[in-house]
Structure 1
Amino acid sequence: MDLTIGRGRTLDRRDVAAAAGLCAVMCGVFWVFGSGDSLRVTFVPGAVVTFALIVVLHRTATPLPAPGRALPVYAVALGWQLLHFAEEFQTGFWHRFPALYGGAPYEPATFVWFNMASYVLFGAATAVAVGRGRGAVLMPSLFFVVYGTLGNAITHLVWAVMVGGYFPGLVTACGYLVIGPVLLRRMWPGATWWHVAAVTSVLALVLVPLLVAVAR
């Protein structure tokens, strides 16, 4: 793979339109198929913040990330996500999480398949968007960065406070306090730590009130 592919190419209006369409589809799936309000207060806000970031990247003519800089860290983050999933599955996240938001437990097999399929989608989208410079599929790639890493850290810490102790997935989610900011900078050429802090703050301001207010 040419590690310079994507460098200098910016998102055009068609890329933003594709991101808007993918965001709408993702939000629709999360809204309809989530158990109770579980995905409505987590994945839907994460998708909206991700799309807002894509709009910012477009309006500021930010180039797509260079594969040699972004892909290795993305691969580490996906690998860490497998460990995070293992902790969640072993400690009962599939029934504790929806119960907080008025939902029935997810079927274990469905929970496994949904997560594994999502990781394949994130990896494939990133290979195309970053590796081949195709901004039209950047939405699912960045969704993992915004919600899969930063959002995971925020939500698990909030849930631990809410229940007054350990909540399934907490230990490995804390790893994203380091991985998430580093990955966001690698995926956002020219970003400073202030940019990373701004995105994290916006995400927290959106997520935290919802996580607390909607909990049963």
Structure 2
Amino acid sequence: MSRRPARTRPTRAQTRERILDGALEAFAERGFHGSTQEDICERVGLSRGAYNSSFRSKDELFFALYDRVIERLQSRLEEATACALSMPGSTADNFLKAFIASYPFDRDWYLLQAEFGLYALRHPAMASHYAERQGRILAIIEGALADILREDSRIVARGLPRIARLILAVHEGSMFQGLLEPHEVASGELLDFLVDLMLARAATRVD
């Protein structure tokens, strides 16, 4: 008789990822405050004990989701930068195309981020944690920009922190507009327009 394969329990990391996936789905569907621990556990088929061993609160769960987004964004930006630098033509244009392709509109994440952002603004303790993570995103964007701008002399590499903030603001604002009016704003369209404006201004200064 053949032996049945031994049943293996999921690792702590695998359990954590399942909870994060279920939480993102629940938060997007019912809202951050409307979702319960029981709802999240039911979605992913886990006990409350498994949940409690990974997360102590919904706030902690949200920030874990945010950390995962940051890690994925960093990986995508590193790939986009490497791609842009290896292709012929304008590295700024190439980078933008690669960035847009790897960081499309994400409805579920935007809904959660928008709701929790308002919650954080009303609670200073949460706002500091939220700002710290946004700072990490801005640093990642700024670092990628620094690599790109060294190869593209049309844009003067001054004020990178503000340029990074502008890119993040345009991206998040265009996500809202694109989700609200999908036929009016395509993914990446406003970022593309922003870079066109920056390059046009740089060309005017050179002339």
Please report the TM-score for the alignment, with normalisation by the length of structure 1.
0.29
Structure with the greater alpha carbon radius of gyration: 2
Higher RCO (Cα < 8 Å, 6 or more apart): 1
